Structure 1
Amino acid sequence: MSAPHEEDDFAPSNTPGYKVGAAKTVDEYATLDAEDESLARWKASLGIVPGASTPASGPQVSVLTLELASPTLPSGKHLRMDVQSPASLEEVKKNPFVIKEGVEYNVRITFKVNHGICSGVRYMQVVKRAGVKVDKMEQMLGSYGAHPKGEAYTKNFDPEESPSGMLARSGTYHVRSRVVDDDGKVYADWDWSFKLGKDWA
C-alpha cells in the first residue's frame, strides 16, 4: 500500500477547461456520429464497428515493456524492461540501468488494449534520489480501442537530456512508474532504478 505522500506525487495535472467524458462501450462509440463517413472509416480501422464488442475479461490495458532509447546508444545495446515479468523488474532494481550523462534520450512504452476503449491514458513517473523527489514526468498516451489485429501500441515520449556532472553521477535514482486513465484507474505500477555514468554501461 502506498503512503499518502507518495500518492500525492502521482496526482495528475489538470488541463483548464478539460472535462472527463462519461465512459462509453465500443458499440456506443461505433454508432456515435455514424453519418460522418471519414470518422466511420477511422473507427473501423481501429475495430470499432457495431457489434464488434467482446465480453470483457482480464485487464483492459496490459503494459508490456518500457525502454530507454537514444541515438547515442551503442549499436545492439538495449535498455528495456519487461513490465509483465517480476524477474525482469527485480533485475532492474538490483542492477540499475546506466544512462550516459548529458545525452538526449526518451522513454518508449509498449502496451496492449485487450478490450473496450480506454480514454485519456497517461504514463507518469516520479524519480527520487536518497528519498528526495528530483523529477516527475507525465506524458499522455491518448485514447485507444483494442487493436483489430490484437497488436500492441508503441508510444515514444518527448526527448529529454540526462543530467551531467559529478553530483548527478553520485547515487542511484529510484523510479516509480504508473499508467493510469482519466478515471484514475491504474493499469500498471512498478519500481525500477538507474544510475548516471560517463558512458553507457
Structure 2
Amino acid sequence: MSAAHDDELKPTTTEGYKVGEKKTVEEYAKLDAEDESLARWKASLGIGAAAATGSIGEPGDNRTVVILELALIVAGRPDVVLNLDSPDAVSKLEESPFTVKEGAEYRMRVKFRVQHEVISGLRYLQLVKRKGIPIDKSDQMMGSYSPNTKENPFYEKTFSEEEAPSGMLYRGTYQALSKFMDDDHKEHMSFKWTIEIKKSWE
C-alpha cells in the first residue's frame, strides 16, 4: 500500500485522549474486582467469560482481529456477502464489484472474531475514489471487544445507513480502500474493492 493511501486514510483523533496500557484478558479480569462500574464494563465486554472458559483461536494464527465477512444489506433484497477470511477472496475483491442501484439505501455489516487479547477502540475506515479523486471518507467506531469464546464465536457490527448517489453523472465505477484499525493504530486488515453505481440492480 502506498504512503499516499496511508496519509489519506488515518483515523480521527480526540485531543488529549491517551491509549491505555495493554493488558491480558486475565489481568483485566482481576483488575479492581471491587469496583462496581469497572465490573459492569468488563461484563459488557465478556472479559469474565473469556478468562473463565478460555478464548478461542486458531493454533498458530497470531492475528488478534480476524475479519470473516463483509456484507451489503438492502431492504427487500438478499444480502451480498463477501468472505474475507482467505487471501484468495481478498485478492479478487477488485475484480468482483459490489453493484448498488443509484439512490438505494444500504448498510454494510462486518462479521469478525477477536482472539488472544482485548481489542480497544476497533474502527472501520473507508476511502472512496472515482477516477483517482477522493469523493468520500468514513471513520466508524466499532467498539472494544474481548476474545471470542465457544459460546460466542464471533461478533457482528452493522454500520449506519448510507444512500448511493443518483443521476447519470454518478453512475459508474468507484474504488474503495478499507481498513480495520484499533486505538494503538494497529492495522488488522486493509483491502481494496470496487463499487458499481448503476441505474438498476442488474
> Taking structure 1 as reference, are residues 196 and 67 closer, same or farther at Cα in structure 2, changes over 3 Å only?
same
Moved more, 60-69 or 31-40: 31-40
Matched, 1:155 2:157: yes
> Taking structure 1 as reference, are residues 84 and 49 closer, same or farther at Cα in structure 2, changes over 3 Å only?
closer
Q: In structure 2, the residue corresponding to 1:172 is in which secondary structure?
A: strand
Q: 1:70 aligns with which of 71, 74, 88?
A: 74
> Taking structure 1 as reference, are residues 200 and 65 closer, same or farther at Cα in structure 2, changes over 3 Å only?
same
Q: CA deviation at 1:168?
A: 0.6
Percent identity, aligned pairs only, is: 40
Cα separation, 2, equivalents of 1:3 and 1:94: 20
Q: In structure 2, the residue corresponding to 1:49 is in which secondary structure?
A: helix
Matched, 1:98 2:102: no
Aligned to 2:193: 192
Cα separation, 2, equivalents of 1:185 and 1:92: 23
TM-score, normalised by the number of residues in structure 2: 0.86
- Do the aligned residues in 2 keep the contact of 1:124 with 1:179 (CA within 8 Å)? yes
Deviations, residues 24-58 of structure 1 (Å, cap 9, x unaligned)? 11122101220145726816844243795799852
- Do the aligned residues in 2 keep the contact of 1:56 with 1:115 (CA within 8 Å)? no
Q: CA RMSD in A?
A: 2.5
> Taking structure 1 as reference, are residues 16 and 44 closer, same or farther at Cα in structure 2, changes over 3 Å only?
closer
Cα separation, 2, equivalents of 1:50 and 1:172: 49
Cα separation, 2, equivalents of 1:135 and 1:27: 41
Map 1:117-196 onto structure 2 (within 5 A): 117-149=118-150, 151-169=153-171, 171-196=172-197
Q: Aligned AA for 1:58?
A: N
Q: CA deviation at 1:116?
A: 1.3
Cα separation, 2, equivalents of 1:8 and 1:23: 26
Aligned to 2:18: 19
Q: In structure 2, the residue corresponding to 1:66 is in which secondary structure?
A: strand
Aligned to 1:10: 9
Q: Aligned AA for 1:99?
A: V
Q: In structure 2, the residue corresponding to 1:190 is in which secondary structure?
A: strand
Q: CA deviation at 1:108?
A: 0.6
Cα separation, 1, equivalents of 2:81 and 2:177: 15
Matched, 1:32 2:34: no
Q: Aligned AA for 1:179?
A: F
Extract unaligned runs of 5+ from structure 2: none
Cα separation, 2, equivalents of 1:44 and 1:155: 14
Cα separation, 1, equivalents of 2:44 and 2:72: 31
* Alignment: residue pair count: 196
